[in-house]
Amino acid sequence: MNGLRSRVLSALAGQLGHPHGLLGKGVVRILNRGNARAIAGAVDAAVDGGAQAVADIGFGGGAGLSMLLEQADPAGVVHGIELSADMLARARKVFAREVNGGRLQLTEGSLTDLPLPDATLDAAITVNTVYFVPDLDAACAELARVLRPNGRLVVGIGDPDVMAKAPFTPYGFILRPVGEVVAALERAGFHVEQRKLDQQPIPHHLLVARPSAT
């Protein structure tokens, strides 16, 4: 029984980090519902109406793409970057009009290998993704590379103490203290403001990061 439980939880953890296949379709609904408030908070903190180029990195179920399309400058571009080929294919269907019109650009990529030129983005969000990145410094440096000097990045993470109590997090999640994530962002050249969303069942921390020179 313990072996079966471990296999089920390991499969769930893998899907949360990289949704795919038939099970991934159910995970999409979980991601969009469970992450909605954190994503909305990240979008509100990152984007103003004048943002011309924005991105959701690791967009998963696509809730963040919808919010960015609503809140960013209508004349600008929303970038959706995702590692899962299945999530990219799904987003191309759901947002076919925006993709065909050039308002939304969907690309395969990861936090440590972003398919964007230097200084491309006015704003970027990435929510519940850093648990799956072994090299956090490399990810923060890559995020700093693609952000413009006056840009804004928001990294959303579930409270690590609460996350540690979830049955699936021992299976592939890297749960870092919030201060460790802040320190990595600061090493990459960001000034970081911490905000907390006391949502249930998992409170979230929003790390609002701006290049230190601004």
Please state the length of the chain.
214
Q: What is the pLDDT of residue 48?
A: 80
Q: Which of 71, 75, 64, 66 is nearest to 49 (CA)?
A: 71
Tell me the per-residue pLDDT of 118-168, one tens digit each, with 9 for 90 and over: 999 999 999 999 999 999 999 999 999 999 999 999 999 999 999 999 887
- How many whole angstroms separate alpha carbon 88 and alpha carbon 91? 5
The C-alpha angle with vertex 164 and arms to 160 and 169, in degrees rounded to 5, equals: 110
Instruction: Report the chain's mean pLDDT, rounded to a whole number.
Output: 89
Mean pLDDT of 95-109: 97
Give the lowest-confidence range in 9-13, 110-114, 191-195: 9-13
Q: What is the pLDDT of residue 203?
A: 95
Residue 18 has pLDDT above 80, yes or no: no
Mean pLDDT of 93-110: 97
- pTM for this prediction: 0.89
Q: How far from 113 is each of 90, 118, 144, 187, CA to CA, in Å? A: 22, 12, 12, 18
Q: Which residues contact 117 (CB under 8 A, 6 or more apart)?
A: 146
Q: Which residues contact 113 (CB under 8 A, 6 or more apart)?
A: 142
> Domain residue spans in the chain?
3-211
User: Considering the chain, what percentage of its residues have pLDDT values greater than 70?
Assistant: 85
> Predicted confidence band at 1 (pLDDT cuts at 50, 70, 90)?
very low
Mean pLDDT of 4-31: 60
> Predicted confidence band at 170 (pLDDT cuts at 50, 70, 90)?
confident
Superfamily of domain 3-211, CATH level 4: Vaccinia Virus protein VP39 (3.40.50.150)
Which of helix, strand or coil describes residue 171?
coil
Cis previous bond, 160, omega within 30: no
Tell me the per-residue pLDDT of 48-62, one tens digit each, with 9 for 90 and over: 877 899 999 999 889
95 exposure class (CB count in 10 Å sphere: 0-12, 13-18, 19+):
buried
Number of Cβ atoms within 10 Å of the Cβ of 153: 28
User: Considering the chain, what percentage of its residues have pLDDT values greater than 90?
Assistant: 71
